[in-house]
């Protein structure tokens, strides 16, 4: 009896999977709906820039708040130089840290 029930359940799962269409367009639409309803998000990552033979690697930290307020921090991994892009209701600012070391 258990085997028959298991086979029936597997058949129903396969049948149900084949009946519903959920493709990449549906996934993108769902992501777009979720993105539009976000109030804030925080993303961390690594950015690699290749310029001819030079490779620059940055740690990236992005914070976004609704009403187009954001803060982007770019920190060079090789020399720890940091640059911050800040946008709020007053405007857009680019802040560069100046080292006191010579």
User: Which residue would you say has higher pLDDT here, 76 or 4?
Assistant: 76
Q: How many whole angstroms separate alpha carbon 83 and alpha carbon 33?
A: 32
What would the mean pLDDT of 51-62 be, rounded to a whole number? 93
Q: Are 87 and 73 in contact (CB under 8 A)?
A: no
pLDDT computed for residue 97 by the predictor: 74
Min mean pLDDT across 5-14, 35-44, 84-93 is at 5-14
Confidence of residue 42 (pLDDT cuts 50, 70, 90): very high
| Res 16: pLDDT | 66
Which is more confidently placed, 11 or 78? Answer: 78
> Whose CA is closest to 98, among 85, 86, 80?
80
């Amino acid at each position: 009896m258990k085997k028959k029930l298991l086979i029936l359940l597997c058949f129903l799962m396969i049948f149900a999977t084949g009946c519903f269409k959920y493709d990449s367009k549906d996934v993108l639409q769902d992501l777009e709906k979720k993105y539009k309803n976000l109030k804030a998000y925080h993303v961390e990552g690594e950015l690699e820039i290749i310029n001819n033979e030079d490779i620059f690697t940055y740690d990236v930290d992005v914070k976004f708040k609704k009403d187009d307020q954001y803060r982007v921090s770019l920190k060079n991994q090789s020399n720890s130089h940091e640059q911050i892009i800040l946008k709020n209701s007053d405007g857009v600012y680019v802040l560069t840290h100046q080292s006191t070391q010579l």
